[in-house]
Amino acid sequence: MTGYSKNEWMKYVQNDIGDIEICDVTLRDGEQTPGVTFTREEKIDIARMLDEIGVEIIEAGFPVVSQAEKESIKAIAGLGLDAKICCLSRAIKSDIDAVLDCDADVVGIFIGTSDLHLKYKHKKTQQEAIDCIVPAVEYAKRHGLIVRCAAEDSTRTDLDFLKRYYKAGEDAGADYVSIADTVGIMNPTTMRFLVGEVRKTVKIPVCVHCHDDLGMAVANTLAAVEAGATQLHTTTNGIGERAGNAALEEVLLGLLLQYGIDRYKLSTITDLSKSVEKYSGIKIAKNKAVVGDHAFAHESGIHIAALLENDRTYEVFTPEIVGGKREFILGKHSGSKALCYMARQMGFTLTEAETNIVLEEIKRLSEDKVSFRREDLRELITGLLTDKKAVIA
């Protein structure tokens, strides 16, 4: 028993899946969430937890932003983690020098390439953008950095120009090219197509950086995997600018269940999620996949009865895989099996008559939007059955 169910439908689909690596950008793009700032100690803690999970690259920040940012990145680079440490840089020499000052391993060098960015942000032509990225890549390579040549707003960039831009980056010595879905405009079909087209143009690995403006960042990231993308960018809890980025926890579970990629230590993912929730102040939605409070919570009596026989009936993976816990919540849709199971867990043995009394009260109260977790249920049972001499097992 593996504790999870593989997607058997994948055997019918031809995919071009190569070596995958995660570049987690929680400490950089995640910190660009409006109102979010991590302290140096918080960044170090998050970096250690990402490293424990097995994330291959940690994008620790954008060093030109401030001296404090640079010092935090340098502290992370000095931890001796297994993960490579990456920094972001514009296609400007002084930005790259700031990265070098941090002792980072990898630099992601970018310039906006869409007509919108070129016209309104950079005031440059397409050729001028290439003329910026080429010397920047060459300079970073001469100074010993692993270089990711990124096109900001790639997914709204003219395809022929995007190919020329990436080819110029490759010829300048880049180790990766990076597709940034900066405004989250893609869907899995268009992402699969674009990655395929870029892979026809360059021989170096392709990265994808997906935003969640249309709620498809994780789906687009996995579609990119199927098209042969190598480096996947994520943030813990999917935090990031506007609607956020592809969520680390969802991408890792997707890689495991859909494609059998089983080299990450997922048992600490919930602890990481809770830490980032605390440090960022961004509350996790209760129904958030993998790490939300309701990810393994069940109320329906039919569901709970089946789960008590075999937990695969209504869970695609066990909560223990990600360090979570299963929870039964009693309410309008609950039945006697769930009630008796939860009661026994707390040391109560209920007769059939007592079960009916408690269940009737649960259903009555549920009409007022009340539901019962473990401690709530203990109080209800004690209160209802004190005079009825409920048997304590």
In a domain, 21, yes or no: yes
In a domain, 2, yes or no: no
Are residues 228 and 307 located together in one domain of the fold? no
Are residues 23 and 73 located together in one domain of the fold? yes
Are residues 105 and 210 located together in one domain of the fold? yes
In a domain, 1, yes or no: no
Print burial letters for 213-233: b (CB count within 10 Å at least 16), e (below 16): beebbbbbbbbbbbbbbbbbb
Give the residue-averaged pLDDT of 64-82: 97
Give the residue-averaged pLDDT of 315-339: 89
Instruction: Specify the pLDDT at position 65.
Output: 94
Domain span holding position 379 = 297-392
Are residues 212 and 303 located together in one domain of the fold? no
pLDDT tens per residue across span 306-323 = 888 888 888 999 999 999
Are residues 365 and 263 located together in one domain of the fold? no
In a domain, 71, yes or no: yes
Matching residue, tokens 């089946």 = 306
In a domain, 287, yes or no: no
In a domain, 336, yes or no: yes
Q: For the chain, how many structural domains are there in total?
A: 2
Are residues 195 and 325 located together in one domain of the fold? no
Cα distances (angstroms) measured from residue 332 to each of 89, 102, 147: 54, 57, 56
Are residues 26 and 140 located together in one domain of the fold? yes
Are residues 261 and 160 located together in one domain of the fold? yes
pLDDT tens per residue across span 288-307 = 999 999 999 887 877 878 88
Are residues 325 and 219 located together in one domain of the fold? no
Are residues 81 and 112 located together in one domain of the fold? yes
In a domain, 285, yes or no: no
d(CA 206, CA 224): 9
pLDDT exceeds 90 at position 72: yes
Are residues 305 and 273 located together in one domain of the fold? no
d(CA 223, CA 362): 44
In single-letter form, the type of residue at position 322 comes to V
d(CA 186, CA 210): 9
Last residue of a domain, one of 245, 280, 315: 280
**Residue 118 burial class via C-beta count within 10 angstroms: exposed 0-12, middle 13-18, buried 19 and up:** buried
d(CA 63, CA 85): 12
Instruction: Specify the pLDDT at position 388.
Output: 56
pLDDT exceeds 80 at position 360: yes
pLDDT tens per residue across span 82-131 = 999 999 999 999 999 999 999 999 999 999 999 999 999 999 999 999 99
pLDDT exceeds 90 at position 13: no
CA-wise closest residue to 88 among 140, 36, 127 = 140
- Asked whether the beta carbons of 86 and 106 are under 8 A apart, the reply is yes
| Long-range contacts, stretch 373-381, CB < 8 angstroms, 24+ apart | 373/327, 373/329, 374/327, 374/342, 374/345, 374/346, 377/330, 377/339, 377/342, 377/343, 377/346, 378/346, 381/343, 381/346, 381/348, 381/350
Give the residue-averaged pLDDT of 211-234: 98
Matching residue, tokens 């031809």 = 14
Are residues 233 and 344 located together in one domain of the fold? no
In a domain, 290, yes or no: no
* pLDDT over 70, % of the chain: 98
Last residue of a domain, one of 280, 306, 330: 280
CATH of the domain at 25: 3.20.20.70
Last residue of a domain, one of 236, 254, 280: 280
